[in-house]
Structure 1
Amino acid sequence: MEYTLSKIATNDGHGENSAFFDGWKAYDSDPYHPTKNPNGVIQMGLAENQLSFDLVQEWVKKNPKASICTNEGVDDFKEIAIFQDYHGLPEFRNAVARFMERVRGNRVRFDPNRIVMSGGATGAQETLAFCLADSGDALLVPTPYYPGNDRDLTWRTGIQLLPVVCESSTGFKITREALETAYKKAQDSNIKVKGLLLNNPSNPLGTTIDKQTLTESLTFTNEKQIHLICDEIYSATVFDQPGFTSIAEIFEENPKSYNPNLIHIVYSLSKDLGFPGFRVGIIYSYNDTVTNCARKMSSFGLVSTQTQHLIASMLSDDEFVDRFIPESAKRLAKRHEILTRGLAQVGIGSLKSNAGLFCWMDLRRLLKEATFEAEAELWRMIIEDVKINVSPGAPFHCSEPGWFRVCFANMDDEAVRVAINRIHEFVMIVQTKKQRYIRRGKLEVSLSFRRLDEIMMGSMKMSSPHSPMSSPLVRAMT
């Protein structure tokens, strides 16, 4: 007997048929391990912040009472286990509001009564989409943007995401012209635009949106009377100047100039603290109706009270927070420098960035031609031969082929070193093949074993202490 499932359940709205998710699958089937699988795939496609776990672990050991699953905290077990108010624990909402303020340099204030819980930023995004738009309506989103938005915001809501095309010539900056062009294109297609979604700091660019651009964006949405959603989940990952400016600051500086009912913030602890498994997402809206509606809908993805209890205790510890935020930024800056310097050694550039857990790598000169087909071919070589999972620009809706997102905070120093060495080897091979292609006028030229060995020996002398023939890239290419 054949069972018919719903169209929503069986459509491809999750987006797993993209290179963004295919890279994860390649890693899952052959994960790198320094001793057990040294030639496996290195995961550089996952934006996780694992560089400061020792600080968190140290705090947990010193504060056993923060958990109801310890001898010191078990007396609170019953009260926490049975508490299921949609509003969340008061101490949790207070702690999160204060933490958001401190990340923003105490330049703004957040009302704990507007803090709405959700199961991670994913749930927060979808809940806001349900509150603000009907099926068929659209949100404008500057490119390149996080591929998960195509799943989180559209799969079950039925809304559309329309790209606001940003270009490398301006550092992918959002311009009023680009916003107006996207808005007019939607109007011409009879698509109702309900809002603009900004990601600040940007995933995948690793850049903060400057104050002027935020002001222009807010002015644009206010004039069009559409919503502005600011995804600020990377706000505490800023490691260089310019610093982070929240949309809350723009609004609070001139509150009478903008309609507060159109301004909403998404936040979580997944990136700033490195707690994606805790599923702590936050909706902060200046719109009372949205706040009330989102709180009712939060019953589909509440944060467990056990997690709330622990987080409230941790974020209320001023000494811990004052230490964690700058130390995390310091470690992210160091890792970012190691990666970008390693790329630069073989002539690979990246967008100048100051935040996030990734860099936006420029491999345009390694493409056979300036097409997304050539980008996909290059990406397959990196996955299959170099054995590194990086994410190509196409799933991010980048307007130009050849850009790749590289995550650097989800691994230890040794894995980063190995990854950089593999990239060095790969670039040497591609450059040599391209030079021979130019000389001979052929699309594909195979290197002999002897010539390849010579190239790799030279490359490894510059960048790696390991034998070149132990590299998965060399074996694959030969």
Structure 2
Amino acid sequence: MQSSMSNGAYDSHQLLSKVATNNGHGEDVEYFDGWKAYDNDPYHSSSNPNGVIQMGLAENQLSFDLVKEWMLKNPQASICTPEGVDKFMEIAIFQDYHGLPEFRSAVAKFMGKARGDKVTFDPERIVMSGGATGANETILFCLADRGDAFLVPSPYYPAFNRDLGWRTGVKLIPITCESWNGFKITEQALISAYEDALTKNVRVKGIIVTNPSNPLGTVQDKDTLKMLVNFVNDKRIHLVCDEIYAATVFSLPRYTSVAEIVTDMPHVNLDLIHIIYSLSKDMGMPGFRVGIVYSYNDRVVTTARRMSSFGLVSSQTQHMLAALLSDDEFVTRFLDTSRERLSRRHQHFTGELSKVGIECLKSNAGLFVWMDLRHLLEEATTEGELKLWRVIINDVKINVSPGSSFHCSEPGWFRVCFANIDDGTVEVALQRIRSFVKRDKREVKPKTSLKKRKEQMQLGRLSFNNRRIDESSLMSPHNLLSPHSPIPQSPLVKART
């Protein structure tokens, strides 16, 4: 029997859904293409010493030894050990999607501890999801309808377009931030983005901000957070704070959660305030897929909990983590040690870069640095940035992420992750960077005048901003992303990195 496909009666767009046939997932950008280059030629100190070093993955691998040590001392926490197997049936049978009470209590306590015990969290407002990716999508489903928009300070996490917009149909509109003030959110830029959306007849339902910032590695100060809270309160829109890097703050200024801010602002409508959290970054456990929606809005909590049945955390994982996070001595030691190790790695890495003339944005949090290579661009445009990025990937053999994939308005910035590799690999990466900089200095290049460079920089900002914010871009999350790379697109659907 001849199929309907063979006689041309149907094509894939007729047979499949719009979600299945669109490019909203956004895998065909440099952020994911860099991973493809690594996957095809991964560095290994002995078996492939000339391979690509993965510095595009925001993963915290510096304190796994502490978790392993705890597991060996507490075998009863797992239902797959002789010491814990008696709990197997109790944990393996059906569990309410509210989550194990002991798990929600432990997570709420840990969230407070990770924020310096400056604020407490109610376990009854803890809603589970499959990682921060699922948590972000869940909160958007609760707050906005297809075609609505959220404002997002740029530069911002590349996969937000996927997480927040692919299936929800919600648009993301950048709030343009610039290097002159360390990419800090200004009220003027916020108002401009909001009013620009209104002129395009786009309904703005809220703002989503990462604190600490990915990719900047900076924390939002109290004045900025208060400004954001006042703004959403005045406009009656929502504020979603993605706080998944809260416990990675390793030096001053100290971290301030929006939960702490709103306790001192009694006039604020708390129904507009929501927090996203996970254990992927602070605990280095992205594979456990533990995402949290924490909302002060009762209706959102109820709805998100109902939706959580589509992406629950396994009861086995809940059981183990409840024991781990309830161990006060372990949690204190882990957080202190993790911060100290992150600080030491950050200081060493940025210090060595500085010795060869490469500076990074001053930061005190996260698993990465925002590296400034504007002085190495042949031309200060997005195209010039991508040309340099291809050299770093193909010749230097390091996977870093170009700023354009983070929707940065200024060409020449790159995110470099430093916590997902061991000390030896860090030294190899630094040596490759030193060699590249020395080679670059030896090459004869036409020097561009300062005036010309400023003109190119302005042109790069204008062209990039226009590409992101025009009407057609707003209609598709995919179109907000940076140009395609010549490297084949990645088939990977990675965890939140």
**Residues 205-263 of structure 1: per-residue CA shift (max 9 Å, x gap):** 00010111001111111111100000000000000100110000001122x21001000
Give 2:446's match in structure 1, choosing from 437, 440, 453: 437
Give 2:101's match in structure 1, choosing from 83, 86, 90: 90
Is 1:237 aligned with 2:243?
no
Q: Matches of 2:287 and 2:439 in 1, distance apart?
A: 39
- The aligned residue for residue 282 of structure 1 is 292
Native 8 Å contact 1:366 1:431 kept in 2: no
Alignment of 1:306-317 (within 5 A): 306-317=316-327
- The aligned residue for residue 329 of structure 1 is 339
Give 1:291's match in structure 2, choosing from 290, 301, 308: 301
- The aligned residue for residue 281 of structure 2 is 271
Give how far 1:437 is off. 3.3
Is 1:302 aligned with 2:316?
no
Native 8 Å contact 1:176 1:216 kept in 2: yes
Q: Matches of 2:240 and 2:220 in 1, distance apart?
A: 14
Give how far 1:438 is off. 3.8
Native 8 Å contact 1:101 1:109 kept in 2: yes
Q: Matches of 2:310 and 2:231 in 1, distance apart?
A: 33
2:69 is paired with a residue of what secondary structure?
helix
**Residues 98-117 of structure 1: per-residue CA shift (max 9 Å, x gap):** 00111111111111000000
Structure 2 portions without partners, runs of 5+ = 6-11, 449-497
- The aligned residue for residue 155 of structure 2 is 144
Give how far 1:432 is off. 2.1
Is 1:191 aligned with 2:202?
yes
Q: Matches of 1:437 and 1:200 in 2, distance apart?
A: 41
Question: What letter corresponds to residue 104 of structure 1 in structure 2?
Answer: R
Alignment of 1:365-380 (within 5 A): 365-380=375-390
Q: CA RMSD in A?
A: 0.9
- The aligned residue for residue 398 of structure 1 is 408
Alignment of 1:152-301 (within 5 A): 152-254=163-265, 256-301=266-311
**Residues 306-362 of structure 1: per-residue CA shift (max 9 Å, x gap):** 000000000000010110001100000010011101110110010000000000000
Native 8 Å contact 1:124 1:281 kept in 2: yes
Give how far 1:430 is off. 1.7
Question: What letter corresponds to residue 392 of structure 2 in structure 1?
Answer: I
Using structure 1 for the length normalisation, give the TM-score.
0.91
Question: What letter corresponds to residue 422 of structure 2 in structure 1?
Answer: D
Give how far 1:264 is off. 0.2
Alignment of 1:64-103 (within 5 A): 64-103=75-114
Q: Matches of 1:148 and 1:350 in 2, distance apart?
A: 23
Count of residues paired in the alignment: 437
- The aligned residue for residue 446 of structure 1 is none
Is 1:14 aligned with 2:25?
yes
Q: Matches of 1:436 and 1:328 in 2, distance apart?
A: 43
Give how far 1:436 is off. 4.5
2:446 is paired with a residue of what secondary structure?
helix
**Residues 256-301 of structure 1: per-residue CA shift (max 9 Å, x gap):** 2100100000000000000000000000000000000000000110
Q: Specify which structure has the bigger relative contact order, considering alpha-carbon pairs within 8 angstroms and separated by 6 or more residues.
A: 2
Q: Matches of 2:117 and 2:32 in 1, distance apart?
A: 38
- The aligned residue for residue 464 of structure 1 is none
Q: Matches of 1:430 and 1:31 in 2, distance apart?
A: 25
Q: Matches of 1:5 and 1:70 in 2, distance apart?
A: 45
Q: Matches of 1:175 and 1:413 in 2, distance apart?
A: 38
2:395 is paired with a residue of what secondary structure?
helix
- The aligned residue for residue 131 of structure 1 is 142
Is 1:389 aligned with 2:399?
yes
Give 1:56's match in structure 2, choosing from 50, 57, 67: 67
Question: What letter corresponds to residue 132 of structure 1 in structure 2?
Answer: L
Give how far 1:431 is off. 2.2
Distance 1:438-1:176 versus aligned 2 partners, 3 A rule: closer
**Residues 102-161 of structure 1: per-residue CA shift (max 9 Å, x gap):** 111111111100000000000000001100000000000000000010100000000100
Using structure 2 for the length normalisation, give the TM-score.
0.87
- The aligned residue for residue 40 of structure 2 is 29
- The aligned residue for residue 451 of structure 2 is none
1:23 is paired with a residue of what secondary structure?
helix
- The aligned residue for residue 426 of structure 1 is 436
Structure 1 portions without partners, runs of 5+ = 440-478
Give 1:351's match in structure 2, choosing from 355, 361, 364: 361
Question: What letter corresponds to residue 131 of structure 1 in structure 2?
Answer: C
Question: What letter corresponds to residue 109 of structure 1 in structure 2?
Answer: T
- The aligned residue for residue 457 of structure 1 is none
Q: Matches of 2:404 and 2:204 in 1, distance apart?
A: 24
Q: Matches of 1:84 and 1:147 in 2, distance apart?
A: 34
Displacement over 6 Å in runs of 4+:
none
Is 1:47 aligned with 2:58?
yes
Q: Matches of 1:60 and 1:223 in 2, distance apart?
A: 48
